[in-house]
Structure formats: structure tokens, C-alpha cells
A and B are shown apart, each in its own frame.
Chain A
Amino acid sequence: MFSRDKWNEIIESLSSNWFRTILTAFGVFWGIFILVILLAAGKGLENGVKQGFGGMATNSMFMWAQTPSKPYKGLPKGRRYNFKIDDVTAIKDNVRGLKFVSPRNQLGGFGGSNNVIRGLKSGAFNVYGDYPEIIQQQPMDITSGRFLNYNDIDDKRKVAIIGEAVKTTMYDSGEEVLGTYLKINGVNFQVIGTYKKKGNGGGNAEEAQKEIYVPFTAFSQAFNQGDLVGWMAITADSQHSITALKSDVFDVIKKRHNIHPEDTRAIGNFDLFQEFNKINGLFIALKGIAYFVGILILLSGVIGISNIMLIVVKERTNEIGVRRALGATPWSIRGQILLEAIFLTLISGMTGIIAATGVLAIVNSFLDKSNASEMMFINPSVDLGVVIIALIILIISGLLAGFIPAQNAIKIKPVDALRTE
């Protein structure tokens, strides 16, 4: 079927009218070009927005204590309660499918007064009491030294990991940071590492670099928190979604703190997974639109090819008649027309894919030069799967484009074909 002769035939008949062949091919070229560019643009936007999450474990939620809105077991509504450190172990024991349950405490915050002093310098920073797992839930790059570990937790070591912005505020440039001491709310902590947060963090980009991490246990002791837990960051494993496990976690807390089972206001939460899914849905819709528009444009190109093939068949009526008189079977004629259509579609389509990839490469090199973290648009690209899908679409559309002309070609009776002069 794919002998050299067959290819020669195809090349010969396509090259017999170069200008027309190229104009026809342009329709499909343009269709697939637009399809790939649209898909890549969607991907670029998606990459840009998702980078804003900074590689955060998206299957996570944050949970904090609010005031119960219903009286229960003799306790009034509107009272105050706090999460306790025992709640963490209770949640871990009672809810299956959770990966990390990290209790957290915080000092300072937006617009807080100066709480950190070093020599003559002072600054206002967010100070977090944390467990080592937090780095897997809110990833950061450790730029020097190390992050917290369980020895720090167990020994309640007064050590701190500071952000890049803390470093520039509290130290002169070139000054050695590791091993020095910072006085946080009057208590000295030794700096053992520095970090830089990933992602553009949206409005928090600057704030995110102005944080200080200390061991949870040391925090509790140094700042008189006892067994209180400010809030928790909870991540589910890959087999479960945190949205599904959320109510189980709440039930554990409600039981332990005598909260009415139907009280929905007692526990505040932010479900990152749900938010992430909303954005994901947006991008799926965007991809759908890209396919829709791209395929419609491609379709007009395919119709162009079909149209031209009809004319080609008409023009070659006599030739087809001769071929049949010489012993060409209907299938060999049909195959010839179909192959020509597929070949034309594939070649122009592949040129379109290559051209689109070229344009993307140029766009990417410009994006790389500019400060990518400021952009909502990163690395627009298409993966191999998309290219394969595009090729399959091309082959199918080539078949469709050739089908009607091929049927026309074999409908011509050899005797009629030879009569046309």
C-alpha cells in the first residue's frame, strides 16, 4: 500500500499545480496552528496561575477555632474555646487518609508592632511555631543552613529559620547570619537557616519572605502558649480529597470540645483543594474553548481540501477513465484520492504544528528574559499528548476530506470519462 510508486503518484499529482496545493494546504496549516497556539496559551495561563500556589500542597485545608453558635451540653453559645495539642493526635488517630496534621501558632502579623530585635536593629515579622512537616505543605527553598527537625521539637530548642526579607532588614549585607541570635519578644533564638518562598504568592509576595519559623514546642514554652494551638494545616494523602475528609475532622474536634454536632460556625476553615478545583475547572473550560475554536477553524481548512479534491477529481476525469481502462480497480482509485487528501492534510498539519512550536519557542525565550515571577503567563507549551491528538484529528479529517471526492471518482464510468475530450 505504501510502495514507492504510490508515493510518486501522490507527489506527482500534488506537484502538478503547486500554487493551488499550497493555498489549499494553508487552510489546514492555519487551523492546526491556531489550535496549538490556543492550547499552549491556555497552558501558559494555567502555569502562571498555578505557580501562584508556589507548589503548595493543594489537597490541604486550614482550620481554626471560632465561637460556637449553638448551646450544647449546658455550655452557652458565643463562648471561646481553643484547639489543644491533644486534638492533633486525636485527629491523626481517628481520621484515615490524612497525610499531615500540623498545629501552628503565630506571633505578630500584618501591621504588627516591632517584635524582633537584634542589636540596634528591629523589625515587625510574623513568627510561627511549627512542626517540620510544614515545609512539605507550604514549600520554601532553604537558601542556607537547615529547616526544623524533630530534635528541635523534642528538645524545645530555641532556634529560628528566617526569611530573605528578615535577613535584609536585620543584617548588614555580607554579614554572617547562621549562628547569630535574634531577640523575639524578649527571648533569644539562634538562627539556623534562611529560606526563600516559592511562587509569586499574589498579594502576599513580600509578606511571605518576612517570616520566622521556630519549633512549635519552643514557641509554646517561650511565649506562654501552654498546650494551645492557633490553627492547623491539614493535608490529605493522594487517595483522598481533603474536602471529603473535612467533616470527619470537624466531628473529632466537635466531640472533644463539646460543640453541638450541627454547629457549622464553631470551626472556621479554608479549603485550598476546593479553591484549586475551581481554578482547575476554569482551565478545563478554557481548554474546551481552545479545542472548539481550533477544530472549527481546522474544519474550514478540511472543507477547503475536500473542495479542491473534488475539483481535482473533476479535472482528472479523463485520467481516471484511462487508468480504469488500463486495469485500475475502484479501490486503487479511491485509495489514491484518499491518500492524496490525507497526505496533504498531514503535511500541512505537521507544518502547522512545527510553526506553532517555533512561535512558542520564541515567545518562551522572551518570557524567560523578562522576570517570569511577575507574570501571570509562564511557559506556554503543548505536551506530546496534544500533538498526538492533533495528528489523529488530522488523519481523520484527511479521510473525511478525501471521502466524498473519492466516491465521486469511482462513480465516473470509464466510458464516460474517456468520452470527455
Chain B
Amino acid sequence: MIEIKDLHKSYQTGATSLHVLKGINFNVKEGELVSIMGSSGSGKSTLLNILGMLDEADAGSYTLDNVPIKNLNEKIAAQYRNKFLGFIFQSFNLIGYKSALDNVGMPLYYQGMKRKERVERSMAYLEKVGLADWASHLPNELSGGQKQRVAIARALASDPKVLLADEPTGALDTKTSYEVMDLIQGINDEGKTILVVTHEEDIAHMTKRIVNLKDGVIIDDSFVNQVRAKANV
């Protein structure tokens, strides 16, 4: 599903150049649930941004579902993001003045889907994350866990190839974190490819494979025995 070869990325900060990714090689097959770990500054967020086409690599190749991601203009990048990727953020990033239902419908809106169909689809995904009753509520009327579940529903709405989660439990307490992870595991069980960036060991062990990043290189990449979140709730 995802193939990355010799990926480099550096940031220019004033006169000095910061080499963040120093040759990343890494493949993800369909249906995998991978966590990317590393301390802050290890380059994990940068890697995720490149995977999410929010940022571009300086060198190396990136293939997503057999489509080479290279020299995209903004319009095509936007279309690819919409079609291939679903994003889950640490700070949820819901749009404050839109109801939960409308937030979930956003990717569908940008696909140009008609309103009626969009509402139906969004409702179905809200139901899937167990928030059908909260459809008309604004984000600030929801708890953190609920917000993240709305965000997950939104990420799923366009039926993307890959879900990218950037510290999805970073702003949540342990119990809620596990609930969210349970949901993510459930989605993965249905066959969706998911990448989770995290720095929490327990969260990482709820995935099937842990990739450890340090100073811009992968120091460890191993499959683990998945801990089911449900058992810990």
C-alpha cells in the first residue's frame, strides 16, 4: 500500500539547515496497523506529514496504492488527500461552527457529493462511532473522546485507502484513549490500513507493528503481539 524509498527531508531554519529525515525506507501492506514511535524531534511527525502529502520530501520516492506521489500541484494533492487519506489529529481539528454531522460530511462536500447523500453517509459513519445521537451538536458540546470519534468518522467518510493518525490519544485521558484505540482497532479489523504516530508505549503496543524512529532514521521495525484495547477499558 505504502512504499517509501530513501526519503530525505531537511528544514531551513535561518542559516542552519536541520536534517530531519535521513533516508527512510519503509513499506506498509494493505490492512496493517502500524505505529510510528520516537521521541520529539525524531522526525515522526515530519514523516507523517509527507505521507499525508501535507509536506514534500526533498529526495526519495513515495508510492501510495501504486500511484507515485511526486511533484504534485496543490489541486491534485488536494484531490489525492481527499481520495486516498483520512486524517486524525491530536487536537481533533473539528470546525467549531459546524455540527458533528457537517464535520463528518466535509470530505464528501469536497468530493462534490449532493447534500442528501452526504447527510446519509455522514450519519452512517457517526452511527459507526456511536455518536448518532450527537449529530446536531457543535464540537464544543462534546467531550474530548467524542470529538476524537467524530474526527475518526470524518477520516473514514471518504472511504480512504489509509488512515493517518497523529497522536490520536495525545489529548485524552487513559480510559478515553483506550476507547479510541478500541475504535481504531475495530476499523483495522475491517481491513483498513492505519498508521498511528505516538510516543506512548501502551498505545503503540495496541498496534500490530512498531516502527521506531530516532534522529531521522528507523532504528527498529518489528511486529508485536497486539494488545486489544477492549481488555483494558
Contacts and interface: CB of A to CB of B under 8 A. Distances in A.
Interface string B104-126: 00110111000100000000000
Contacts of B74: 329-330, 410
Given A12-B98, A415-B49, A418-B54, A327 B107 contact: yes
A327 B55 contact: no
A326 B54 contact: no
Interface in A118-144: none
Contact of B79 (A12, A321, A327): A327
Contacts of B97: 12-13, 16
B224 interface: no
Given A415-B49, A418-B54, A327 B78 contact: yes
Nearest to A323: B106
Contact of B81 (A12, A326, A332, A413): A326
A372 interface: no
A184 to B, nearest CB: 86
A13 to B, nearest CB: 7
A318 interface: yes
A5 B54 contact: no
B79 A329 contact: yes
Contacts of B82: 326-327
B93 A328 contact: no
Interface residues of A, number: 25
A250 B33 CA distance: 104
A32 to B, nearest CB: 29
Interface in B5-51: 49
Contacts of A330: 74-75, 78
A327 B111 contact: yes
A319 B95 contact: yes
Given A330-B74, A331-B75, A4 B115 contact: yes
Interface string B67-106: 0000000110011011100010101011111100000001
Among A322, A327, A328, chain B packs the most CB atoms within 10 A around the CB of A327
Interface residues of B, number: 28
Interface in A328-367: 328-332
Contacts of B161: none
B93 A322 contact: yes
A326 B107 contact: yes
A48 B106 CA distance: 59
A415 B55 contact: yes
A94 to B, nearest CB: 75
A93 to B, nearest CB: 77
A10 to B, nearest CB: 12
Contacts of B83: 327
A330 B110 CA distance: 11
Contact of B110 (A16, A319, A328): A328
Interface of B: 49, 52, 54-55, 74-75, 78-79, 81-83, 87, 89, 91, 93-98, 106-107, 109-111, 115, 154, 158
24 contacts: A4-B115, A5-B109, A12-B97, A321-B93, A322-B95, A323-B95, A323-B110, A324-B81, A325-B54, A325-B81, A326-B81, A326-B106, A326-B107, A326-B110, A326-B158, A327-B83, A327-B158, A328-B78, A329-B79, A329-B110, A331-B75, A410-B74, A413-B54, A414-B54
Interface of A: 4-5, 12-13, 16, 318-319, 321-332, 410, 413-415, 418, 421
